[in-house]
């Protein structure tokens, strides 16, 4: 759509008529402070001449000057073409997700849509939906096993983060679990982020079995940097396993180091959560939405393109045409 920046310019539309009615015609050129060539030509452009000349008395002679004045006012009003609104990223949190890809994540003790699935599949489903809800946040992704890797740096492109999480696979980063290294990597990548808005959500189903930094050391470093850590321990408490000797109940989460995960969260003013099934995992991520709310205020802008050059060019061309016509008529009269 077209919008005028200064629409009030329209009040100047009758200005030429007011100048003709109220202005005083200078009778002696010597008295004028400013001399211009062919003053009668400019006078004819702005006013309706009362002379007996048929050309000047006709509305046709005034058409071009009136159109030129209208185009000049249009250009002065600064017309702009406004495009469709474009959403802008809003200021939210810098949220990093650290997901365990160790071998134990392949244990099938979760149920998703009526089907028994492994822990990583359930995590992908629930965490992926969580990522897409974080509108306004910059979201990053760390995958860790024996080593920790930055899969996605902080970005507003939530779809890409969710896609890369969905494409992750068990054992991609090794079969062991380097929780401390994952936290240390998050601290490094969030160090230059906005203070008081840096959050790490770490999900694991085991204990630290690899890496150069212990989880508690990494947590203390995170606390010193102002990074809040929410930890999630994933895995069922009970599982029925069929064997040659019959069915027996086991605890598939026996290796989960809840004590360390709780200490990490407490050291950084975060919280520890326990997800024993898909429903609990979904509730945890919903609770994280409440603990770390996203920015609700939407911001957008409309790209604009200035159009004043077109009516201004038209006004100048018409003014030159009118002057050329007046000069031609003046020469014709002198020859006669």
Q: Do 33 and 182 fall into the same domain?
A: no
Q: How many CA atoms lie within 13 A of 179 on its CB side?
A: 25
The answer to the question of residue 54 being in a domain is yes
Q: Do 71 and 99 fall into the same domain?
A: no
**Per-residue pLDDT at 111:** 87
Q: How far is residue 115's CA from residue 38's CA, in Å, rounded to a whole number?
A: 92
Q: What is the pTM of this model?
A: 0.61
**Per-residue pLDDT at 295:** 55
Q: Do 184 and 239 fall into the same domain?
A: yes
Nearest to 286 by CA among 98, 81, 158, 133: 133
Confidence band for 160, pLDDT divided at 50, 70 and 90: very high
The answer to the question of residue 210 being in a domain is yes
**Per-residue pLDDT at 301:** 63
pLDDT tens, position by position, 73-95: 888 888 888 877 766 555 568 89
Percent of the chain scoring above 90 in pLDDT: 35
Tokens of 16: 């030429």
Q: Do 98 and 181 fall into the same domain?
A: yes
The answer to the question of residue 6 being in a domain is yes
Within 10 Å of residue 137's Cβ, how many Cβ atoms? 25
Distances (CA, A) of 331 to 35, 46, 131, 314: 20, 21, 79, 26
Q: In which domain, by residue range, is 275 found? A: 88-291
**Per-residue pLDDT at 309:** 84
Reduced to 3 states (helix: H, G, I; strand: E, B; else coil), residue 94 is: strand
Reduced to 3 states (helix: H, G, I; strand: E, B; else coil), residue 254 is: coil
Nearest to 60 by CA among 334, 328, 322, 333: 322
Nearest to 311 by CA among 83, 4, 79: 79
We report the CATH number of the domain holding residue 256 as 3.40.50.410
Q: Do 236 and 190 fall into the same domain?
A: yes
Q: How far is residue 216's CA from residue 202's CA, in Å, rounded to a whole number?
A: 13
Q: Do 43 and 94 fall into the same domain?
A: no
Residue 146, pLDDT above cutoff 80: yes
Q: Do 111 and 238 fall into the same domain?
A: yes
Reduced to 3 states (helix: H, G, I; strand: E, B; else coil), residue 30 is: helix
Percent of the chain scoring above 70 in pLDDT: 78
**Per-residue pLDDT at 208:** 93
Q: Do 113 and 143 fall into the same domain?
A: yes
Residue 157, pLDDT above cutoff 60: yes
**Number of structural domains found in the chain:** 2
Q: Do 50 and 189 fall into the same domain?
A: no
pLDDT tens, position by position, 49-60: 444 444 444 556
Helix (H) or strand (E) holding 57: helix 54-57
The answer to the question of residue 272 being in a domain is yes
Give 89 or 16, the one with higher predicted confidence.
Answer: 16
The answer to the question of residue 240 being in a domain is yes
Q: Do 145 and 257 fall into the same domain?
A: yes
What 3 state SS string does the chain have? CEEECCHHHHHHCCHHHHHHHHCCCCCCHHHCCCCCCCHHHHHHHHCCCCCCCHHHHCHHHHHHHHHHHHHHHHHHCCEEEECCCEEECCCCCEEEEEEECCHHHHCCCEEECCEEECHHHHHHHHHHHHHHHCCCCEEEEEEECCCEEEEEEEECCHHHHHHHHHCCCCCCCCCCCCHHHHHHHHHHHHCCCCCCCEEEEEEECCCCCCCCCCHHHHHHHHHHCCCEEEEEEECCCCEEEEECCEEEEECCCCCCCHHHHHHHHHHCCCCEEEECCHHHHHHHHHHHHHHCCCCCCCEEECCEEECCHHHHHHHHHHHHHHHHHHHHHHHHHHHC
The answer to the question of residue 96 being in a domain is yes
Confidence band for 273, pLDDT divided at 50, 70 and 90: very high
Confidence band for 258, pLDDT divided at 50, 70 and 90: very high
Q: How far is residue 40's CA from residue 330's CA, in Å, rounded to a whole number?
A: 10
Give 219 or 321, the one with higher predicted confidence.
Answer: 219
Q: Do 274 and 313 fall into the same domain?
A: no
Residue 37, pLDDT above cutoff 50: no
The answer to the question of residue 298 being in a domain is no
**Per-residue pLDDT at 45:** 46
Q: Cα torsion for 187, 191, 193, 198, to the nearest 10°?
A: 40
Q: Do 157 and 24 fall into the same domain?
A: no
**Per-residue pLDDT at 244:** 63
The answer to the question of residue 297 being in a domain is no
Residue 335, pLDDT above cutoff 80: no
**Per-residue pLDDT at 65:** 79
Please compute the mean of the pLDDT values over residues 244-249 and round it to a whole number.
67
Pairing of strands 110-112, 115-117: antiparallel
Q: Any bridge partners for residue 115, and if so which?
A: 112
């Amino acid at each position: 759509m077209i919008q005028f920046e200064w629409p009030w310019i329209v009040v100047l539309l009758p200005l030429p008529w007011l100048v003709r009615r109220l202005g005083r015609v200078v009778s002696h050129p010597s008295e004028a402070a400013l001399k211009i060539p062919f003053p009668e030509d400019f006078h004819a452009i702005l006013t309706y001449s009362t002379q007996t000349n048929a050309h000047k008395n006709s509305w046709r002679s005034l058409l071009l000057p009136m159109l030129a004045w209208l185009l000049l006012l249009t250009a002065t009003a600064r017309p702009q073409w406004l495009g469709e609104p474009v959403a802008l990223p809003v200021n939210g949190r810098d949220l990093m997700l650290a997901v365990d890809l160790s071998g134990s994540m392949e244990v099938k003790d979760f149920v998703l849509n009526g089907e028994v699935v492994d822990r990583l599949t359930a995590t992908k489903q629930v965490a992926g939906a969580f990522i897409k809800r974080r509108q306004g946040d910059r979201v990053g992704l760390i995958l860790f096993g024996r080593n920790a890797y930055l899969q996605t740096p902080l970005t507003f492109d939530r779809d890409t983060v969710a896609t890369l999480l969905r494409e992750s696979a068990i054992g991609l980063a090794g079969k062991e679990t380097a929780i401390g290294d994952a936290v240390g990597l998050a601290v490094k990548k969030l160090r230059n982020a906005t203070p008081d808005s840096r959050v790490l959500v770490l999900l694991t189903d085991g204990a630290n079995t690899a890496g150069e930094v212990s989880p508690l050391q990494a947590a203390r470093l995170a606390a010193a940097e102002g990074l809040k850590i929410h930890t999630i321990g994933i895995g069922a408490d009970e599982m029925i396993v069929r064997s040659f000797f019959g069915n027996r109940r086991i605890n598939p989460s026996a290796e989960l180091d809840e004590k360390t995960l709780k200490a990490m969260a407490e050291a950084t003013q975060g919280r520890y959560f326990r997800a024993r099934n898909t429903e609990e995992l979904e509730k945890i991520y919903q609770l994280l939405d409440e603990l770390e709310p996203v920015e609700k205020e939407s911001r957008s802008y409309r790209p604009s393109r200035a159009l004043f050059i077109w009516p201004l060019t038209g006004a100048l061309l018409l003014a030159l045409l009118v002057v050329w016509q007046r000069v031609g008529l003046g020469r014709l009269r002198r020859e006669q």
